[in-house]
Structure 1
Amino acid sequence: IQTLSGRTSILFSAMRSATLAGALALCLSTTCAVDLLRVRMEPSVKTFSSPNWEQGAQVSADEEVQLQFFLKHGADKISAFEQELLQLASTKSARYGEWLTAEAVTARLAPPKRHLDIVLGFLKLHGAEDKCEINVHRDVISCTMPGTTAEVLIGTPLYHYSHAKYKAVSIIRVAAPYSLPAPVAGVVSLVAELIRFPALRTSKLVSEDAPTASAESSDAWSQCGTLYESFTNIAVLQERYGFPTISSSATGNGIALAEFQGQYYDDDDLEAFSSQCSLDSTVTVDSVVGGNTPTRCSIGLEPCIESLLDIEYAGAVGQSIPISIYYSSTYSILEWATLVGDDNSTAPVHSVSYGNDEVQQISDEYMYSCNTEFMKLASKGISVLFASGDQGVWGRSGYAPTGEFHPDFPADSPYVTAVGGTDFLVKSQIGEETTWEDGGGGFSNVFAQPSWQADAVATFFSTSTDLPASSYYNATGRGYPDVSALAGTQNAYFISYKGGSFSGVGGTSAASPVVAAIFALVNNERLAAGKSAMGWLNPFIYENPSAFNDVTSGTNNGGYTGGFTAVAGWDAATGYGTPNWDALLEAAMSY
């Protein structure tokens, strides 16, 4: 706790005799409001800089910035909501698939109105309420205001930061702790986005003249041209996973993709990809939230590779299913999640190819707030899939021979489906898969192991004969990934980029949109039959393991020692394995 001056007696007197709301109301009528006792927010944060980000100028007085105030939820409300959500998502429940409306979620989770009034009163006091919006669930207040006003609210200056390598990527952050007046801090979990410096995730671009496939391999390899026979393409995926090509989309179906760090798309690339791979129809984007700047896709070190990989393969697997894009220029998973949560017409399946290590998220408050947003999306029947990471168990923080593994967030949130990576066991031959050594997987240090996963994890520990030392991971944490798909650079994904150039890309950033699109195909069948969308997938996955091709070999050690080795059943290398369309559809349609 810190004070801006010594004049706090009015506040102390008020707080001894009134509620937090009453204390703030009293101060709003006096000069003490500008001198309130302030409370440091996200107090566990120790670092306010990053070697990958270069500090620039302080924000100017008239420069508009956005602050998001996330209100706290009572522990009892969260616990009750989690129990109800499990009933909606478990195939063993009579309520399976009875997803909630936005109004129902609000009724269950919204903080008391007086808490909202405290924050709104604080904003009004500083003239910052004019450009504020309250989200549909009445627990997030998003405001746009001049930089100087924002600095007064949070008690510290704001600065521009640019990425050391990707200069076009810029963010606004604090360089020191931020704080709020005590009554406001009592009802606010955090203010976003102020302290996180993201470690940008990039897919691996491989050589354009990689060796061709072996003579014994399927003709599917040559679908996109003999020059690119070594690359995974839609025909290879279709032969391996068995999903169909559809010609129409069921009403209400869709696939949404989240893009950050200046990852836009160019229609020329989508047309070139579709033509080169002889798709039945051209991959298109049906709606964009946040704008698109296609000219950015012809410049830079890795122009639009992440976004084009997402779009090209979500569109190729889920042909005819509408695709929407959500852009965030601030690289904020939390901002993205609230944006999706406020969109009542959003797609029922979302794929996100971004994430960082838990330790890089800086504060538990941030991860818990994200998790709550994911929970709300899950309750409304929205499937959210995240790539599990591309550095094996060691994560972006790197190999630490005497330390611990670095689990990936948001992939290890219980309310998202984490997609790991595989390679073909025999290069260029469509068939059995093995663990991709760089695929993310492990156990969370933040989120406890959920009940729907307990039996699978217990079996993994009892049957695995090659476990890492227990000091490297938290055996009681949420295990991930849940499922997997081809992701490695051994047979990288064929893509079009830079206006019609072709190359190959590897990573779980490829696996996630593929699995998301396959579940969108499942939704197509369910919706057409009058059933609900699949929604939160994890209980269904753990209750129907036979819907996936089990992967039983390989270790996700990231090229170092350690890592988890795939075994029969669920494992922390590939989850339950890769999609088996016939079995998956049969299971999904039986409920």
Structure 2
Amino acid sequence: MIFPLIPFVVVATLALSTVASPIFEYAVKHSWATTPLGWEHHGTPAPDHPIDLRIGLRQDKIDDLIDALYRVSDPFHSDYGQHLSKSEVESLVAPHPTTLSIVHEWLESHGIDLSSVSYSPAQDWLSFRIPIATAEEMLSAKYHTFRHTESDELVVRTLSYSLPKQLLAHIDVIQPTTMFDRMNKMRTNYILDTSGSSATTIDPGLTVKGPAGQDIPLSCNTTVTPYCLQLLYGTAGYVPQAADKGNKIGIAGYLEQFVNFEDLQLFFSQFRPDAERANVTVVSVDGGLNNQSVPGVEANLDCQYTEGLTYPTPNIYYTTPGTAPTINDSVTPPQRDEPYLDWLNYILSQEDIPQTYTTSYGGDEQTFPMDWAVRVCGMFAQLGARGGSVMFSSGDGGVGAGTCQTNDGTNRTLFQPVFPATCPFVTGVGATYQIAPEKGVYFSQGGFSVYFPRPAYQNMAVPPFLQKVGTTYTGLFNPAGRAVPDVSALGLGFQVVVGGAVESVGGTSASSPTFAGIVSLLNDQRIASGKPPLGFLNPMLYSIGVSGFTDILLGNNPGCNTSGFNATEGWDAVTGLGTPNFQVLKSILG
């Protein structure tokens, strides 16, 4: 079975605007009809204010890269598992020489010294610092400072930017321009548990039967620990063997979320005693910090549960700045590039990378400019082609967070899926709760992308669900879109040590590291036996992997003044394919 290429949608709105150069005729690349919801005009930056411009050049052989990704990710293909090297990926995403030539000519026409330009290893990203006035001239744009009405965060952005028509076929995206998304932590519950109690031994009088007939402490219905997850998903008793053979798991951290080492040791002492004195490796990306005086609930949750499930597998926490540093003045904040780009560019520039990743952050898909989302999605494809399995929380808004209204000026009601979970090259993870039986939890965000079409690997699983939905929500979602989530795991009642105390935390931010931990153990088994890591998971999950999941039949995800979708037999937009059975998956993939 060969999964065909998913076509990328190219955004190029050719509405003519004022000619900004005697050499080039300009056309609008991206614009917002109105100021994005939640933001308001705050001021105008000084013309000499510096801005770090980043240009994503059209990648000459991106279609070949995606085709290769599907070949190495299809368990029925002879190339399955033959992942590409860093240099092979870079050769496919490098721009055509003509692209570099015409873009260089454009930069020089605006007085930019090419010696000041920095390049990504594949030369598909250019970056340089220029005054705001120069950026406005180059992009036929007007920059302003905008304030977020809830957080007071200030950003310098434009509501519209243009490119020379001759460059539209050579440039995918330029930032910072029209990106107003505020990355969210995928966490819904934040409940202090003063008792700190947990069930770490089986009491025959207080157990329930798991999906495989295993005895699980009744307390795991509401109080989740690594022991509960090991029993429920079948990893209990499995001892990782490939820690010295290169198997690693990576956790992406943003928004000044810092993992606390003392909290990690307290967590181990209470919930995973054999892991005491183990630690997580912290890697700084673009100057990211890890302030030990400010323990982060999200960072602690992610690291305590990935390590709680995968010890002694090396865990790497990547701390990437996700918010602007100190404000310089009342109207002009310093700039940060979008942190997804910073993290992806860093990871893709490394020779030795983890095989498994989890990220507990995201935002409503419509808040990302489409050209930006498509380009970033393609970077996840690069990571998958190199053998990386990438998990993202599917979101905590049911079928839609916020106002559930479109931001295109029409204010239509629309279910809002979360990006990057909607990218077809990552695995979106929804949430369940309780264990006898597991149910889809109300906040488990699921639905259908507007930006990305349904990938071929979902063509068997998704249509039966759509038939069950029928016309109930006609017009509220895109039935032809990429469907999320792909899979699920428990996401409520996780016991997390924060600042020395145990707190009960929930959200798909708990589900994603849990599922990633299980994937890392599957990679461990394969690497230990001399096989390649799993890489991009979805083609395998939706084919030979289906039998390795417990189908979740109960629960729904209300939102947008509706009861949302229902969990049902087969794939559904609450829990995806269901929750993992490690023993079955290990047998299938061994």
Q: Please tell me the TM-score bracket, short chain as reference.
A: 0.7 to 0.9
Deviation at 1:249, TM superposition (A): 0.9
8 Å Cα contact 1:264/1:292 also seen in 2: no
SS of 2:383 mapped into structure 1: helix
Q: Which has the higher contact order (CA 8 A, sep 6+)?
A: 2
| Structure 2 counterpart of 1:66 | 52
8 Å Cα contact 1:383/1:535 also seen in 2: yes
Q: CA 1:272/1:130 → structure 2, altered by over 3 Å: closer, same or farther?
A: farther
Which residue of 244, 248, 251 corresponds with 1:257?
A: 251
Q: Which amino acid aligns with 1:433?
A: E
Q: Which amino acid aligns with 1:135?
A: S
Q: CA RMSD in A?
A: 3.2
The reply on whether 1:431 has 2:436 as its aligned counterpart is: yes
Query: 1:172 and 1:449 mapped to 2: Cα distance?
Result: 34
The reply on whether 1:277 has 2:277 as its aligned counterpart is: no
Structure (1/2) with the larger helix percentage: 1
* Mapping of residues 33-182 of structure 1, within 5 Å: 36-43=24-31, 45-51=32-38, 55=42, 58=45, 61=48, 63=50, 65-73=51-59, 77-125=61-109, 126-145=111-130, 147=132, 149-156=134-141, 158=143, 163-166=148-151, 170=153, 172-182=155-165
Which residue of 406, 421, 427 corresponds with 1:411?
A: 421
Q: CA 1:158/1:468 → structure 2, altered by over 3 Å: closer, same or farther?
A: same
Q: Which amino acid aligns with 2:191?
A: S
Deviation at 1:262, TM superposition (A): 1.7
**1:424-479: per-residue Cα shift (whole Å, max 9, x none)?**
1xxxxx432111111011111221111111011123334x3687323222222111
Q: CA 1:146/1:397 → structure 2, altered by over 3 Å: closer, same or farther?
A: same
Which residue of 449, 455, 461 corresponds with 2:460?
A: 455
Deviation at 1:576, TM superposition (A): 1.0
Query: 1:165 and 1:48 mapped to 2: Cα distance?
Result: 15
Q: Which amino acid aligns with 1:101?
A: S
SS of 2:428 mapped into structure 1: strand
Query: 2:494 and 2:561 mapped to 1: Cα distance?
Result: 24
Question: Which ranges in structure 1 are unaligned for 5 or more consecutive residues?
Answer: 12-35, 221-225, 425-429
The reply on whether 1:193 has 2:176 as its aligned counterpart is: yes
Deviation at 1:584, TM superposition (A): 1.1
Query: 2:258 and 2:265 mapped to 1: Cα distance?
Result: 15
Q: Between the two proteins, what is the percent identity of the paired residues?
A: 28
Query: 1:265 and 1:59 mapped to 2: Cα distance?
Result: 38
Query: 1:293 and 1:161 mapped to 2: Cα distance?
Result: 26
Which residue of 17, 21, 24 corresponds with 1:2?
A: 17
Question: Which ranges in structure 2 are unaligned for 5 or more consecutive residues?
Answer: 1-15, 210-217, 323-335
Deviation at 1:570, TM superposition (A): 1.5
SS of 1:314 mapped into structure 2: helix
The worse-fitting range, judged by mean Cα deviation, of 65-74 and 473-482 is 65-74
The reply on whether 1:344 has 2:328 as its aligned counterpart is: no
Query: 1:403 and 1:48 mapped to 2: Cα distance?
Result: 18
SS of 1:374 mapped into structure 2: helix
Q: CA 1:217/1:461 → structure 2, altered by over 3 Å: closer, same or farther?
A: farther
| Structure 1 counterpart of 2:374 | 368
Q: CA 1:159/1:259 → structure 2, altered by over 3 Å: closer, same or farther?
A: farther
The worse-fitting range, judged by mean Cα deviation, of 519-528 and 106-115 is 106-115
SS of 1:586 mapped into structure 2: helix
8 Å Cα contact 2:488/2:579 also seen in 1: yes
Which residue of 390, 397, 412 corresponds with 2:396?
A: 390
| Structure 1 counterpart of 2:431 | 421
Q: Which amino acid aligns with 1:403?
A: T
Query: 1:407 and 1:471 mapped to 2: Cα distance?
Result: 14
SS of 2:30 mapped into structure 1: coil
| Structure 2 counterpart of 1:332 | 339
| Structure 2 counterpart of 1:20 | none
The worse-fitting range, judged by mean Cα deviation, of 97-106 and 410-419 is 97-106
Q: CA 1:257/1:396 → structure 2, altered by over 3 Å: closer, same or farther?
A: farther
Which residue of 307, 313, 323 corresponds with 1:321?
A: 313
**1:210-231: per-residue Cα shift (whole Å, max 9, x none)?**
89899964499xxxxx999943
- TM-score, normalised to structure 2, is 0.82
Q: CA 1:279/1:183 → structure 2, altered by over 3 Å: closer, same or farther?
A: farther
- TM-score, normalised to structure 1, is 0.82
Q: CA 1:451/1:250 → structure 2, altered by over 3 Å: closer, same or farther?
A: farther
Q: Which amino acid aligns with 2:289?
A: T
Query: 2:68 and 2:275 mapped to 1: Cα distance?
Result: 41
SS of 1:521 mapped into structure 2: helix
Q: CA 1:151/1:305 → structure 2, altered by over 3 Å: closer, same or farther?
A: farther
Q: CA 1:372/1:58 → structure 2, altered by over 3 Å: closer, same or farther?
A: same
Q: Which amino acid aligns with 2:377?
A: N
Q: CA 1:200/1:366 → structure 2, altered by over 3 Å: closer, same or farther?
A: closer
Q: What is the count of residue pairs matched by the alignment?
A: 536
Q: CA 1:227/1:219 → structure 2, altered by over 3 Å: closer, same or farther?
A: closer
SS of 1:439 mapped into structure 2: coil
Q: CA 1:476/1:205 → structure 2, altered by over 3 Å: closer, same or farther?
A: closer
The reply on whether 1:508 has 2:508 as its aligned counterpart is: yes
8 Å Cα contact 2:251/2:316 also seen in 1: yes
